[in-house]
Amino acid sequence: MGEKDGLLLRASRLFDLPADALAGAPRVEVVGDGELRMGPHRGILAYGPEEIHISGGSMVILVRGAGLELRAMTPEELLITGTITAVEFMR
């Protein structure tokens, strides 16, 4: 995490502001275990039916599961479907 990003994150926590809006932190939304939405993102780093690596800027989000599929992808958001077993954040 960059110094600037960390500062913005801390500021958002201090002032009780949404971190995704202020610091541009990725927002990950999981619906049940079958759908994952994420935005903003900085692209896919690795893709497979059991593991997808997504760049979130300051971190890498790793989605594990079975039969994973990238259903939609725009510059702002992406949608992954399949059976999601785990979401990991790697710094």
Interface ranges with other proteins (CB under 8 A): 43-49, 69-75, 78
Give the nearer residue to other proteins in terms of CB position, either 4 or 71: 71
Q: Which two tokens stand for residue 77?
A: 């958001």
The answer to whether 64 and 86 are in contact (CB under 8 A) is yes
Minimum separation from the CB atom of position 36 to other proteins (A): 15
Minimum separation from the CB atom of position 4 to other proteins (A): 23
Give the nearer residue to other proteins in terms of CB position, either 17 or 46: 46
Give the nearer residue to other proteins in terms of CB position, either 34 or 75: 75
State the Cα torsion 12-17-20-25 to the nearest 10°: 10
3-class secondary structure, 36: strand
